[in-house]
Structure 1
Amino acid sequence: MPPVKDGDENRIAHLVEKYINENDVMIFSKSWCPYCKKIKQALTSANIDFYSIELDQIAEGETILNELINKTQQETVPNIFIKKQHIGGCDKTLEAMKSGRVATLLNGTESKIESRKVADDDLDSYDYDLIVIGGGSGGLACSKEARSFDKKVCVLDFVKPTPIGTTWGLGGTCVNVGCIPKKLMHQASLLGEYFNDSIDYGWSQVEQEKSRQHSWSKMIQSIQSYIRSLNFKYRTDLRSKGVVYENSYGQFISPRRLKLTDKKGQTKEITGKNIVIAVGGRPKYPDIEGDQTYGITSDDLFSLGYDPGKTIVVGASYVALECAGFLHGIGREVHIFVRSILLRGFDQQMANRIGDFMSSIGIHFHHQTIPTRLECLEEGKPGKLRLHYRQTLESGEIYRYYEDCNTVLFAIGREACTQDLNLNQIGININKINGFKIKTKHEQSINCPWLYAIGDCIDEQTMPRGQPLELTPVAIQAGQLLARRLFSNSSITMDYHNVPTTVFTPIEYGAIGYIEEDAISHFGQENIEVYHSEFVPLEWSICHHREKVKTMSYCKLIVDKNTNRVVGFHVLSPNAGEITQGYAVAMRLGATKNDFDMTVGIHPTCSENLTTVSVTKSSGDAASKEGC
């Protein structure tokens, strides 16, 4: 039995216990110790808060150290406690971080998984060097890159059907229900506009009217046939590269062990030394009566087996505006229900210009509206639906209305597909506030450093705040770079700044870098200059049916006055996607306004306006362009 402490010794013992009990992560340190500095840096990098006292800088330091030696039989510093448990010194704490023990202690799941986790960590070998959960753009890119380093790789991909039963093949959102079918339907709508343009270019109006009949079923058949060919290509590509493909749903049992469930309900377990979560996201529903029974989302639209007819699009996201745009372009009546602002996260001047353009071509906007109930009036394909909603008028009065239609498309945002992965079993907490995304830094989980995530399911610390970067090329590059860091000693990380993007609305919007609101916030209003110009695309100049919108094309460059560097690029015009991609290289290389000015434009193009724009917002002069 140890001697009973009294007096000063008893006070020191209570003081040590107080430090340990009141701090989740408690470090007893010395200011000159390199190992103390190393563990503090590691904890800071992992975004783990800690409290430390420097024993060499306080009068009672040596007495506290002696008490720690008696308590832990450890004579060195740092001496670290987490959630009242003694971890040890620097090396043992780093090992605990790597294994996930630190995260599970901090998240309160240690008792649930510790025995299984230790068993996983003690394995002589794993089934795979890398398991990727998710067969979308990022997951496939990461898995194939890892396989190029002769690693044993497995990809899991399983699509849960939508409420109306829609499902699809390997390739993720982009290929099946995103970028690819969206762009093809956007092209279908543009072809309809070209029909109208052709009259003023000398093509016979009579012949045009006879031939202009759009077939929804023919378009769907052509697009889905192409998508199926891509699904097949991805499967054969994985096979030829030696990547194991499991059409199963993966769930965590412990940090490196997954339970796989296939469509027949059969299960098995696999282990992986490294695991990457690349599950992407799915559209949200508004949680109103009838939403999942009678409504659809973009997950359903691109393979819809019947003509949608008159469509209400609920939401003002880029998905909402893009879908509304191409549905209108192929001749369907479209109404957009907007709760607050258009294109949250994008430049609001550009967003409002898109709204003005879409209104001018006949798309109906209902602002300040919130859906309350969706009911079916007549069954059919399409049937007849009634959407009830409330609307706040400019006076502040709230009225309740309804609108009848054939189809209601919900496009109110997306949530990461992480809720059914059993992430709580490995110490990762997700919440609705950030769309159930996994917090990461350089694609590495902040809570569990041995776990990785890429693509639309991450809340990445190094991303510019508020800018929407749920983009296929971002996921692909992040996945490839992550595989190189894991298996080829690379240190190159994903750069989420100056990522180009385009919204494929009827008039396309391309953007790189800062939106104007963020530039003002970051640099200060007095430190930026905005150069802008309105222009008429030459191709529209002789088209009478474009009269209302021909002057709506617009571009602006946001410039840091101190460096003359272009920090924001925005263009609203036909083919904005093709325009923006080229300028992305210049923006990445730090192009200045002088670089843009000294670049010779190609005439006559929309893109050349970015090389000649000279009117500043601060001047107050009109942005309209004169001459050719």
Structure 2
Amino acid sequence: METPKVSRSGLGRLPFSLHSQGVASGVRGGAQGAAAGRPDYDLLVIGGGSGGLACAKEAAQLGKKVAVVDYVEPSPQGTRWGLGGTCVNVGCIPKKLMHHAALLGGMIQDAPYYGWEVPQQVPHDWRKMAEAVQNYVKSLNWGHRVQLQERKVSYFNMKASFVDEHVVRGVAKGGKETLLSAKHIVIATGGRPKYPTHIEGAVEHGITSDDIFWLKESPGKTLVVGASYVALECAGFLTGLGLDTTVMMRSIPLRGFDQQMSALVTDYMASHGTRFLKGCTPLRVKRLPDNQLQVTWKDTASGREDMDTFNTVLWAIGRVPETRNLNLEKAGVNTNPESQKILVDAQEATSVPHIYAIGDTAEGRPELTPTAILAGRLLAQRLCGQSSDLMDYDNVPTTVFTPLEYGCVGLSEEAAVARHGKEHVEVYHAYYKPLEFTVAERDASQCYIKMVCLQKPPKPVLGLHFLGPNAGEVTQGFALGIKCGASYAQVMRTVGIHPTCAEEVTKLRISKRSGLDPTVTGC
């Protein structure tokens, strides 16, 4: 095997097109420069996802010399993508677009009730949808490259690993190595889907969320294994696009979320065509001569084995941080040996003071794009002496984009009771019917809202949970109020916008403790 060539050239900044190919640029002295006290960069960011790019662009905007090193290892099925990380390429963006495509199918079914003459059978073209989604994602990839160029951020399309606490080795696709040194280093490598490697045929025949959004052809009859938000979101839009979809759950859905809300989410999905295999674990996956996948699983309650055939098996059983190949031990960066996530303090600093970690790769942080972005920007501002503000990880809102969306901010009911005691918690709730559901005679039995408060006046709001249309849009506004310390009394004095689903939050006057029927029956 040929020994890789190491670049320690004294070249100035090369054209942007060369940066994108992983050619060394702006490298003044590599490891030698660091040893001489002249690091190549003020800030080196490892990882080109949302958090890393936000940090890099902010620091560059504030006058620092910045580089980004990013490389995406193709998935076991060979899927690859461009700059932008999970959210842009295989997460939030394509997920929301495919979720919207599925919702449009529901609107087409509603249309005749409103006077639209729609054919009885309206087919969906996966290839056309996928091409449109993928083209949009590629435009975002290019946009990120342009933004880095405009801010004079050096971009290296290379695999990164530590040589020591100030030097990182980048290895380009062709094997060429470049040593980069920096005063400060930020690790923002995110995570990748987990494969159940102990299950026969899982890796060979299964796909993950790294692949589903880049399929050229419809996945057909699909088994989704897992009960995470990724599992339920994917199963939801697949069902909505008219595909035969089954979810295999080992235990509870949406672990870490409010479990009453989680049960309503899966109830809605089940009533709208998604099949659930509860308390089941897969044993093996086998490809048959006709190219179908035969999956054998075990019912943990009865011990009985069962099987069925599918066109696609999608693993959505969790994610692992991309830290194993960084040689963190060479830099002295400590990780949690179980999760492999990097241990950080309130400043996002690791065990090495000038090395930081943000986003999904950091221990104890929400695995959410907006938190990584804000954490990255705030970190850059601190490093540039512009601010001392720390990221506040309390009351971070989020939404699960299942067919009936679930938005939440603050504590779940279980967490509030565990923290404050059941006798000190008051829960106000309501089942409601969105106006959009009325004419089309849609079932609204899972549309539900609850607000978790402390019982003692003025009853500070601890958490809000909203299940219904446009949950993300609804939750975002109330998140600001809760972040500002809103009380139940203040929410009740807030005038609702009529007729909206969001106004139902301002009408939550029935508590669980009262035992009264929480069903909304009119204005």
Q: With the length of structure 2 as denominator, give the TM-score of the two structures.
A: 0.92
Give distance in 2, aligned partners of 1:121 and 1:567. Answer: 49
Give distance in 2, aligned partners of 1:229 and 1:568. Answer: 37
Q: Is the 8 A contact 2:280 2:297 kept in 1?
A: yes
Pairing 1:389–2:289 present: no
Among 86, 94, 98, the residue aligned to 1:173: 86
Q: Is the 8 A contact 2:336 2:363 kept in 1?
A: no
Q: CA deviation at 1:124?
A: 2.1
Q: CA deviation at 1:291?
A: 1.1
| Alignment partner, residue 509 of structure 2 | 614
| Alignment partner, residue 498 of structure 2 | 603
* Structure 2: stretches of 5+ with no match in the other structure: 1-30
Pairing 1:532–2:429 present: yes
Among 543, 553, 558, the residue aligned to 2:452: 558
The DSSP-based 3-state class of the residue aligned with 2:463 is strand
The DSSP-based 3-state class of the residue aligned with 1:358 is helix
Q: CA deviation at 1:196?
A: 0.8
Pairing 1:290–2:184 present: no
- 1:276-316: CA deviations, max 9, x gaps? 00000000011111111110000000011211000000000
Q: Over aligned residues, Cα RMSD in angstroms?
A: 1.6
Q: CA deviation at 1:561?
A: 2.0
Q: Which is greater in Rg?
A: 1
- 1:523-545: CA deviations, max 9, x gaps? 1111110000000111111224x
Pairing 1:271–2:166 present: no
Q: CA deviation at 1:137?
A: 0.3
The alignment-based identity, stated in percent, is 48
Q: Is the 8 A contact 1:149 1:488 kept in 2?
A: no
Among 68, 87, 96, the residue aligned to 1:183: 96
Amino acid aligned to 1:172? G
Residues 446, 226 of structure 1: alpha-carbon distance in 2 compared, 3 angstrom cutoff? closer
| Alignment partner, residue 399 of structure 1 | 304
Give distance in 2, aligned partners of 1:304 and 1:444. Answer: 36
Matches within 5 A, 1:211-222: 212-222=122-132
Among 201, 210, 216, the residue aligned to 1:299: 210
The DSSP-based 3-state class of the residue aligned with 1:584 is helix
Matches within 5 A, 1:457-476: 457-460=361-364, 469-476=366-373
Q: CA deviation at 1:449?
A: 2.2
Give distance in 2, aligned partners of 1:505 and 1:443. Answer: 34
| Alignment partner, residue 426 of structure 1 | 331
Aligned length: 492
* Structure 1: stretches of 5+ with no match in the other structure: 1-117, 464-468
| Alignment partner, residue 356 of structure 1 | 267
- 1:547-589: CA deviations, max 9, x gaps? xx32220000011123411110100001101101111111111
Q: Is the 8 A contact 2:334 2:350 kept in 1?
A: no
Give distance in 2, aligned partners of 1:472 and 1:213. Answer: 34
| Alignment partner, residue 320 of structure 2 | 415
Matches within 5 A, 1:29-428: 122-204=35-117, 207-209=118-120, 212-287=122-197, 288-378=199-289, 383-393=291-301, 397-428=302-333
The DSSP-based 3-state class of the residue aligned with 1:567 is strand
The DSSP-based 3-state class of the residue aligned with 1:351 is helix
Q: CA deviation at 1:199?
A: 1.8
Give distance in 1, aligned partners of 2:495 and 2:381. Answer: 39
Q: With the length of structure 1 as denominator, give the TM-score of the two structures.
A: 0.77
Amino acid aligned to 1:321? L
Give distance in 1, aligned partners of 2:262 and 2:292. Answer: 31
- 1:146-169: CA deviations, max 9, x gaps? 001211100011000001100000
Q: Is the 8 A contact 1:443 1:453 kept in 2?
A: no
Give distance in 2, aligned partners of 1:270 and 1:598. Answer: 57
Q: Is the 8 A contact 2:348 2:379 kept in 1?
A: no
Q: Is the 8 A contact 2:34 2:181 kept in 1?
A: no
Q: Is the 8 A contact 2:41 2:66 kept in 1?
A: yes
Q: CA deviation at 1:426?
A: 2.0
Q: Is the 8 A contact 1:532 1:557 kept in 2?
A: yes
Amino acid aligned to 1:386? Q
The DSSP-based 3-state class of the residue aligned with 1:166 is coil
